[in-house]
Structure 1
Amino acid sequence: MGQDRRFDVMVLGGGAAGELVAAAAARAGRSVAVVEERLVGGQPPYFACVPSKTLLLSARRKESWELALARRDAVARRLDDGAAVAALAAAGVTVLRGRGRITGPGTADVGGTGFRYGDLVVCTGSAPAVPAVEGLGQVPVWTSDAALTVPDLPRRLVVLGGGPVGCELAQVYAAFGSQVTLVEPAGRLLAAEAPFAGEILADALRRTGVDLRLGAEAGKVERAGGLRLWLSDGGVVDADRILVACGRRPRVEGLGLEALGVPVRPGEGLATDAACRVIGAAGPRGYGETREIRGAGGTVWAAGDVTAAGRTAHAARYQARVVAANLLGGRRAADYRAIPRVVHTSPAVYAVGLSPIRAAERGIDLVTAGYDLAATARAAVRADDRGRVELYADRARGVLAGAAAAGPYAEEWMGEIALAVRAGTPLSVLTDVVHAFPTYGEALEAPLRELAARVPAPPVSAGGADLGRMTEMSEMNPADRDPAPTGDGLSEEAPEADAAEQRIAVQDEEERTGDGEWPQQVPFDADEADAAEQGRVVELDEDDYR
């Protein structure tokens, strides 16, 4: 097997993260190859963000199922990645079709052809997973991938999982006439978020006809004039189709990463440091040792769902920009404190930073202040009083540490809070922000004033307010919440510009570490609870999506 073709950078996976890194490196003069066995662009444009949000919009507009399908398939490019491949080629990237496998330091095999590489970037994403339920493997099962590509509208649908994907698809199918039952082992929806968010969403789903079975697990599935699901609480549900929305598993197996000394554990993402370099792992959560993994003359990087930190398309793209900047000689550190988590239902749910549950687990004292959207003039104008916002301040640091909101288009008017969490903006500054009238943004003003009165101001150093540790992470929701990307994913700013914008933050970090070295590894929380429930990966046949 010849190994005479060499690339400066080889990217395993051409999804949201992979195509961004590849294009940036190629435009900087590197020879780059992207290895992709499915569709260039990854999950978001074909199997996740774009089709699901298109169907949700059609449901709000009360369109017919036939029109909704036509719009979904048109926006999802009818599973044709020709435009994405052409965009990469225009940027100077070579696309290698097939499954890539690392055969040793600096060498890889793609479809029986050998290649050499310098830097390796792992962006293989994730795959749907299902719990180990008796009989589930012997009956027709949908994953979110299938549900967002097939034309079927089941008369009776059971959704397993009350996370963002399960809630979104339950609302879609119920809106178009399916009799939907949603089964969630936790006692409420969106169990990782503030309780009020799940309660408001549960009420909205019930209004659309969804039967919620909370606190019950799927025990057994059998064929009985259709499908019959037995629940742990003794309940029985009949269905024509079962949709599994129990999270996703990072695609780490079968890549040959062990040949580079990369620790690979089924169900766990790759451990990375603040520069998004893959590192050795010693702890049970996949982190602990900061040994960098290096190939022949290059570094192993990772971005997106395959990492222990990535769980959304926007997080993947953020990590990709960090990788691109550092791969090209910059010094940029990822900061995960303010990665948004969104459920695009009606009403929408938005969260960022720490949730009360995660803060309690870590011993962080949060001060909470909330406000009901019904008290805003905007709610009266829309004749829609559903919703609430809660803001969480870290008492010790004196700044916002997180927030959650449930209400119409919450993902739009909560953006300023993500900025406030990321920048460590003093509460006194936030209380001075003026919001247009009448908007839902006004709902932020009262809780901000309350927090400013109850929480001590942060300490001030010579460089201004203490922005907190660069390595402190934000909460990452376990399920696959995927806001739709825009464009072809290749129109990002040059990584050199990104790195230049980060110089101040990097210099500040160097002052704290004292030696100019990278910050220590970020203690990412891998989705332990979700991974433990996932019994096996569900791989779709080619015919299921092509």
Structure 2
Amino acid sequence: MFWSSAGGPPESCAKTAAGFGARTVLVERARTGGDCLWTGCVPSKTLLSAAKHAATARALTGQSPEFKEVRERIFAAINTIEPVDSREALEEAGVHVIKGTLTFRAPGVAEVDGEQIRFRQSLIATGGAPVTTGIPGLDPDFVVTTDTVWELEALPIRLAILGGGPVACELGQAFARLGSQVTMVVRSRILPKEDPAAAQLVRKALERDGVRLLEHTAIEKVAGTDAGSRIRLGNGTTVEADTVLLAIGRSPRTACLGLERVGVDLDGGGHIVTDARMMTTNPLIWAAGDVTANPQFTHLAGVHASVAAANAVLGLKRRISATVPRVTYTSPEVAAVGLTTAEAGLAHRARTVQHTHVDRAVTEDNTDGFTRLIVDRRGKILGGTIVGPRAGESLTELTLAVQNGMTTSDIAGTTHPYPTYSDGVWNAAVADVRERLASPLVRRAMTGLVWFRRRWLDRPGSHRMDR
């Protein structure tokens, strides 16, 4: 078994493949652990946590931590987690790790820095890289990407972020809370894939933290200045910045792999084409993660790599699930899964609970949020959106409900701990059940049942006790 890796999920799946008894080689051109550990999830969530504490400290004492302390905290988190996916841990699990750059030469044959490797099955998980092209005039000396922003040694004074997706919003809020003057230039609106009401709550939060938002704004060109960059916008205005952060998407790392030699097709965006089993157009080669056209989430890449590993090594035909949860870790968090808006004409409906009616949110004095379920006419849960603290944790129950075709009656009939933020899901489910019970047909049926029950208890010889 052979794995071409540039991300965290392949490490765990390489261990799994070795555990199945397959001779497993993992080729890594940089460092094990991948984007999530070094430039993605771990550093970004640590930065968000540090920024939240900084905002609290500034409100209470008027002082904020030095950026050096923030960087030290980020590196400490990375160093704590890194041993799990280290080369030593992989080799202890039976995985042979080779550092180098791989190219496919022929079916069943690959080459790593001049050394030939033969394989029976292969998984490609080379990930993606930040898009850096398409904006004329950018000076590399004043530009960072979502991969290189962690190399900054000083807090940017004036930070311009190009992009409005989840990563752009997270980093924009974090740097603003740390003290940067942040301007976000967004081609459409922030969080374009999320419920507009959810995006509006995040928009207000960003503005409260001092972020200047320029939505529906095109970039005409960028010019260098002595202090950084001058961004000229389509409306004629300019934005001055000493640092520009590009957060305009990622492109798959497929160049120079030699995929054409082994019959692996790419789509129009350069992603590897896979089926529902994560098999490519070559039945001996599999792919997972950002190198495919699937949504770019670490948790999804891990699941897909696991499916591919089981199918490749054991000959199974497992298929990937279409239920994909996602979370934007701003304050407030935005978590969503499945269908997030009711589609007209399909008898879908939305059940929304504002967090002013979630007791935990009231006790925390943090009621800017909502929970919205999308259900069909029978009460089957099709998806939803949660906005508020710990929305990602609350989403877990909703994800399980969507995955298993559960109804609002299933949720309403399950005892939930009180008070928690997940009460939003339970309250929305209860509201849906109550409305269905209030329909004329159900009310007539209930009335008939009550009448029959009363007659049964009042019959001669019954054991009903009068009180």
Identify the TM-score tier after normalising by the shorter chain. Answer: 0.7 to 0.9
Q: Distance in 2 between matches of 1:442 and 1:164?
A: 25
| 1:435-446 equivalences in 2 (<5 Å) | 435-446=416-427
Work out whether 1:179 is the aligned partner of 2:178. Answer: no
1:121 touches 1:301 (CA, 8 Å); kept in 2? yes
Shift of 1:139: 5.4
Structure with the higher fraction of residues in helix conformation: 2
The match for 2:287 is 302
Q: Distance in 2 between matches of 1:418 and 1:82?
A: 27
Shift of 1:333: 2.7
Work out whether 1:261 is the aligned partner of 2:263. Answer: yes
Relative to structure 1, is the Cα distance of residues 79 and 371 closer, same or farther in structure 2, using a 3 angstrom cutoff? closer
Work out whether 1:274 is the aligned partner of 2:273. Answer: no
Relative to structure 1, is the Cα distance of residues 252 and 394 closer, same or farther in structure 2, using a 3 angstrom cutoff? farther
The match for 1:208 is 209
- DSSP-derived class of the 2:120 partner: strand
Shift of 1:232: 1.7
Relative to structure 1, is the Cα distance of residues 407 and 232 closer, same or farther in structure 2, using a 3 angstrom cutoff? same
Greater relative contact order (Cα < 8 A, sep 6+): 1
Deviation string for 1:108-155 (max 9, x for gaps)? 110111111110111111111135112125653111111123323110
Q: Distance in 2 between matches of 1:88 and 1:33?
A: 10
Deviation string for 1:405-432 (max 9, x for gaps)? 1101111122100000001112221221
- DSSP-derived class of the 1:439 partner: coil
Q: Distance in 1 between matches of 2:393 and 2:336?
A: 12
- DSSP-derived class of the 2:151 partner: coil
Which of 365, 371, 389 is matched with 1:389 structurally? 371
Shift of 1:346: 1.3
The match for 1:108 is 110
The match for 2:11 is 19
The match for 1:238 is 240
1:47 touches 1:149 (CA, 8 Å); kept in 2? no
The size of the alignment, in residue pairs, is 426
Relative to structure 1, is the Cα distance of residues 454 and 132 closer, same or farther in structure 2, using a 3 angstrom cutoff? farther
- DSSP-derived class of the 1:193 partner: coil
Relative to structure 1, is the Cα distance of residues 67 and 452 closer, same or farther in structure 2, using a 3 angstrom cutoff? same
Shift of 1:18: 1.4
* Alignment TM-score, normalising by the size of structure 2: 0.86
Relative to structure 1, is the Cα distance of residues 177 and 121 closer, same or farther in structure 2, using a 3 angstrom cutoff? same
Which of 53, 76, 81 is matched with 2:78 structurally? 76
Q: Distance in 2 between matches of 1:59 and 1:315?
A: 27
Which of 59, 67, 81 is matched with 2:51 structurally? 59
**Pairwise CA RMSD of aligned residues?**
2.2
- DSSP-derived class of the 2:129 partner: strand
Work out whether 1:380 is the aligned partner of 2:365. Answer: no
Shift of 1:28: 1.8
* Alignment TM-score, normalising by the size of structure 1: 0.74
The match for 1:40 is 32
Structure 1 residue runs without a partner (length 5+) = 1-8, 280-292, 457-546
| 1:286-435 equivalences in 2 (<5 Å) | 293-294=282-283, 299-329=284-314, 331-356=316-341, 366-395=348-377, 398-435=379-416
- Counterpart amino acid of residue 427 in structure 2: A
Q: Distance in 2 between matches of 1:145 and 1:68?
A: 17
- Counterpart amino acid of residue 215 in structure 2: L
| 1:122-133 equivalences in 2 (<5 Å) | 122-130=124-132, 132-133=134-135
The match for 1:190 is 191
Q: Distance in 2 between matches of 1:364 and 1:137?
A: 50
Q: Distance in 2 between matches of 1:230 and 1:120?
A: 47
Relative to structure 1, is the Cα distance of residues 268 and 14 closer, same or farther in structure 2, using a 3 angstrom cutoff? closer
2:360 touches 2:421 (CA, 8 Å); kept in 1? yes
2:143 touches 2:245 (CA, 8 Å); kept in 1? yes
2:340 touches 2:384 (CA, 8 Å); kept in 1? yes
Relative to structure 1, is the Cα distance of residues 437 and 82 closer, same or farther in structure 2, using a 3 angstrom cutoff? closer
Shift of 1:318: 0.5
2:379 touches 2:432 (CA, 8 Å); kept in 1? no
Deviation string for 1:295-346 (max 9, x for gaps)? xxxx111111111114111001111211122123253533433221111111
2:266 touches 2:273 (CA, 8 Å); kept in 1? no
2:304 touches 2:320 (CA, 8 Å); kept in 1? no
Q: Distance in 2 between matches of 1:98 and 1:266?
A: 28
Which of 429, 436, 448 is matched with 1:448 structurally? 429
Deviation string for 1:494-545 (max 9, x for gaps)? xxxxxxxxxxxxxxxxxxxxxxxxxxxxxxxxxxxxxxxxxxxxxxxxxxxx
- Counterpart amino acid of residue 319 in structure 2: A
Q: Distance in 1 between matches of 2:98 and 2:394?
A: 41
Q: Distance in 2 between matches of 1:231 and 1:81?
A: 45
The match for 1:497 is none
- Counterpart amino acid of residue 144 in structure 2: W
The match for 2:462 is none
2:132 touches 2:246 (CA, 8 Å); kept in 1? yes
- Counterpart amino acid of residue 196 in structure 2: P
1:155 touches 1:179 (CA, 8 Å); kept in 2? yes
Relative to structure 1, is the Cα distance of residues 13 and 364 closer, same or farther in structure 2, using a 3 angstrom cutoff? farther
2:265 touches 2:280 (CA, 8 Å); kept in 1? no
The match for 2:456 is none
- Counterpart amino acid of residue 355 in structure 2: L
- Of 236-245 and 345-354, deviating more is 345-354
Relative to structure 1, is the Cα distance of residues 156 and 219 closer, same or farther in structure 2, using a 3 angstrom cutoff? same
